[in-house]
Amino acid sequence: MTPRAADGLDAVAPVEPPPGGAFRVEPLAGRSPIRLSVVIPTFNEAKNIAEIVRRLTELLDAPLGSAYELIVVDDDSPDRTWEAAQALTRHYPHLRVIRRTGERGLSTAVIRGWQAARGEVIAVIDADLQHPPEVTLGLWEEVSRGADLAVASRHVEGGGVSDWSAFRRILSRGAQLIGLFLLPGVVGRVSDPMSGYFMVRRAAIEGVAMNPLGYKILIEVLGRGKIRWIAEVPYVFRERVEGESKVTWRLYIEYLRHLVRLRLSRLPIDRFVRFATVGSSGVVVDMGLLYLLSDPHTLAWGLTRSKLVAAEAAIMNNFWWNDAWTFRDVAKDQTGPRPRLVRFAKFQLVCLSGLILNTVLLNVQFNYLGMNRYIANAIAIAIVTGYNFWLIVKLSWRATVVTPPGAH
């Protein structure tokens, strides 16, 4: 018999990674008595684990009684944090311990914990006491008032860092700026997107496929979750007393890769492919009509007159296909002849402005940059296709039409 078995530590049987890449938090099967689940990711935090568990328990007992749980997710730490945590469960029945093997990383550890969580609200806090435990109460208060997400922030009034060097501050803010540049609609929603201390309503991330990389799980939640109401609670990032940080340069690279991955996953690539396909069909219509109308063997109209008719026919063709296919989901929410006519008018305008842009680009490249005219034209067409798509998404088929209740 191993000493582990004698200690009753079999409950911390290693958890193997599940097959497949994405991580999903599934809806709860039935009604749960747990309202809040706090995940504490650990790697070599044996010296901190007892203290963080004690402090959180002391704080949360008052507002929640037995309606909460703490979940330690340890990545098989060499200092046997998992063992220390499991030993604590005797005094803390609301504490659960997961020991992961074959998988490492803060973000995925957090999601693993959430997957095991039974609360309708789920949270994360560092184990090393750099996140002041008492702020948990402020986060809980905000979620109780209705927030979908409550973030502990260093960058709101009352928040800060203890005594970071200028270099570390610049690094942290620089990372935030890059995030703002790549994902303004995600990173810009909170003042401290780097925070690893927050609470989120389970419903906001239920069933959502998450695929984080590195440390910054909050960005994944903001980028993929269904989050409307966000609250921020100030906190001061404390200095570490026990153990050491696991931050390495590799994590900065992983952060950048995470941003790019999220950026790409948020691009409407499928839609763009459909849009470009429709555009190609328009070229066929344009060419065919130009031949039928202007060719000496057919109708032999003047070139300008033929081109105008051909181009307009192509625009109408493209509108029809885009309405019926590319933007079908959006169009079906705005039925009737009038909205359709409005969409068509805007489409027409965008195409016209695209044509002007196309001509200007072609001229600049050909006349001023001395480029080959066909290469210049191909580049101009590619740019204008992107421009048209972007404008059309914004103007013609707006995916975000807000109809106030009762109004039509």
- Candidates 133, 179, 196, 279: give the one binding ligand GDD (CB under 6 A): 196
Nearer to Mn ion, 45 or 148 (CB): 45
Q: How far is the CB of 246 from Mn ion (least distance, A)?
A: 8
Range 67-86, binding ligand GDD (CB under 6 A): 73-75
DSSP 16: P
Q: How far is the CB of 79 from ligand GDD (least distance, A)?
A: 10
Q: How far is the CB of 29 from ligand GDD (least distance, A)?
A: 26
Q: How would DSSP label each residue in 70-127?
A: EEEEE---TT-HHHHHHHHTTT-TTEEEEEE-S---HHHHHHHHHHH---SEEEE--S
Asked if residue 103 lies in contact with residue 76, where contact means CB atoms within 8 angstroms, the answer is: no
Give the count of beta carbons closer than 10 Å to the beta carbon of residue 60.
21
43 forms part of the interface with ligand GDD (CB under 6 A): yes
Q: How far is the CB of 244 from ligand GDD (least distance, A)?
A: 8
**Burial class of residue 116, CB neighbours in 10 A (0-12, 13-18, 19+):** middle
Q: How far is the CB of 322 from ligand GDD (least distance, A)?
A: 44
Report how far residue 74's alpha carbon sits from residue 15's, in angstroms, rounded to the nearest whole number: 10
Binding mask 115-154 for ligand GDD (x = CB under 6 A): -----------xxx-x------------------------
Range 212-271, binding ligand GDD (CB under 6 A): 215, 237, 245-247
In whole angstroms, how far apart are CA 99 and each of 6, 47, 265, 306, 363?
18, 17, 31, 73, 64
Joined together, the tokens standing for residue 153 give: 């922030």
Could you tell me how many residues of this chain bind ligand GDD (CB under 6 A)? 24
- Candidates 42, 294, 365, 388: give the one binding ligand GDD (CB under 6 A): 42
Q: How far is the CB of 126 from Mn ion (least distance, A)?
A: 5
Nearer to Mn ion, 162 or 277 (CB): 162
45 forms part of the interface with ligand GDD (CB under 6 A): yes
Nearer to ligand GDD, 237 or 321 (CB): 237
Q: E strands of 159-224, at which residues? A: 160-161, 198-201
- Candidates 45, 74, 128, 148: give the one binding Mn ion (CB under 5 A): 128
Q: How far is the CB of 128 from Mn ion (least distance, A)?
A: 4
Report how far residue 408's alpha carbon sits from residue 405's, in angstroms, rounded to the nearest whole number: 8
- Candidates 86, 130, 306, 396: give the one binding Mn ion (CB under 5 A): 130
- Kind and range of the H or E run holding 388: helix 373-395
- Kind and range of the H or E run holding 231: strand 230-234
Report how far residue 199's alpha carbon sits from residue 201's, in angstroms, rounded to the nearest whole number: 7
Nearer to Mn ion, 130 or 153 (CB): 130
Pair type for strands 198-201 and 149-153:
antiparallel
Report how far residue 343's alpha carbon sits from residue 54's, in angstroms, rounded to the nearest whole number: 60
Q: Which residues contact 348 (CB under 8 A, 6 or more apart)?
A: 315, 319
Range 320-379, binding Mn ion (CB under 5 A): none
* Residue whose C-beta lies closest to ligand GDD: 196
Choose among ligand GDD, Mn ion, none what residue 196 binds, the Cβ cut-off being 5 to 8 Å by kind: ligand GDD
Pick the stretch among 20-28, 98-106, 182-190, 262-270 that binds ligand GDD (CB under 6 A). Answer: 98-106
41 forms part of the interface with ligand GDD (CB under 6 A): yes
Q: By CB under 6 A, name the binding residues for ligand GDD.
A: 41-43, 45, 73-75, 104-106, 109, 126-128, 130, 194-197, 215, 237, 245-247
